[in-house]
Amino acid sequence: MSKSKNNSILPMELINGSHHLLDKAYSAMVVRFFMLQSHYSSELDFSNEALKGSEKGFNRLVESFDRLAGIKPKDPNAEVLQAIEKIESNCAMHMNDDFNTPKTIAELFELATLINKLYDGSLTTDQAGIDKIQQIIQNYFIDILGMKIEKAANSGLVDGLMKFVLELRKEARDKKDYATSDKIRDTMKDLNITIKDGKDGAEVVYNG
């Protein structure tokens, strides 16, 4: 994309959706995911339609990876374990083939389908199987593809809840009810969230 042309887009314009050719904003992780859905040696065409497709795909993966924590280990199933191992070896095979990220991502979609079946109970696996799946997500999705599991859909909710918690704490402090305000701060601390008091009010720092 030539910088001198009118259609050139700056990364920030994608993230805040301010470019006139864009229908909406996209998170950095969705854009990164979109880029990795093409091989680095191929030309990549940005379009509203393609970006929306990647956003949908990215959310589908993250949603299914989130479900993993809710899967209860059951009896081991040799076929399921084999399917998991096949996905892992395919991921390695594709990355070894000149860093083929689109094919690696296709394997992760297979993994998501499998997780969803384990989640709804139509398939079962034991703890070893669940751990293996977790390891594939960590290795390929997070460490190699460099994706962050961000809960795009929930971020507004978390922010809203935190704002509410800070309001409650401020009310307690205004009433000199320090027992309550300290309890809020300590509970947040246990959740790895630091509340810092500054001149312009309290600020939240996520330490996770």
Partner 1 sequence: MNPLYIYNSLSRQKEKFEPLHPPFVGMYVCGPTLYSEAHLGNLRTYVSFDIVHRYLKFLGYKVRYVRNITDVGHLENDGDTGDDKIEKQAKLQHKEPMEVVEQYKQGYHKILELFNTLPPSIEPLATGHIPEQIEMVEKIMENGYAYDVNGNVYFNVRKYNEDHPYGQLSGRKIDELYNETRDLDGQQEKRDALDFALWKNVPKEHIMKWKSPWGNSGCPGWHIECSAMSQKYLGDEFDIHGGGMDLKFPHHEAEIAQSIGAIKKSPAKYWMHGNMLTFEGVK
The span of 23-31, 57-65, 116-124, 172-180 binding partner 1 (CB under 8 A) equals 23-31
Options 75, 79, 98, 200; binder of partner 1; rule CB under 8 A? 98
For partner 1, give the closer residue by CB, 201 or 208.
208
CA distances from 161 to 51, 56, 57, 154, 157 (A): 30, 26, 27, 11, 6
**208 lies in the binding site for partner 1 (CB under 8 A):** no
- In angstroms, what is the minimal distance from the CB of 25 to partner 1? 13
Backbone angles phi, psi at 17, to 5 degrees: 70, 20
Q: Residue 2, interface with partner 1 (CB under 8 A)? A: yes
Distance CA 187, CA 99 (A): 44
Least spacing, CB of residue 197 vs partner 1, in Å: 27
Reference 105, options 64, 58, 47; nearest CA is 58
User: 26: which 2 tokens?
Assistant: 């996209």
- CA nearest 57: which of 118, 112, 137? 112
Asked if 204 and 166 count as a contact pair (C-beta separation under 8 A), the reply is yes
* The one among 147, 165, 188, 195 contacting partner 1 by CB under 8 A: 147
Chain residues binding partner 1 by CB under 8 A are 1-3, 5, 7-12, 14-15, 21, 28-29, 31-32, 35-36, 40-48, 89, 92-93, 95-99, 101, 139, 143-148
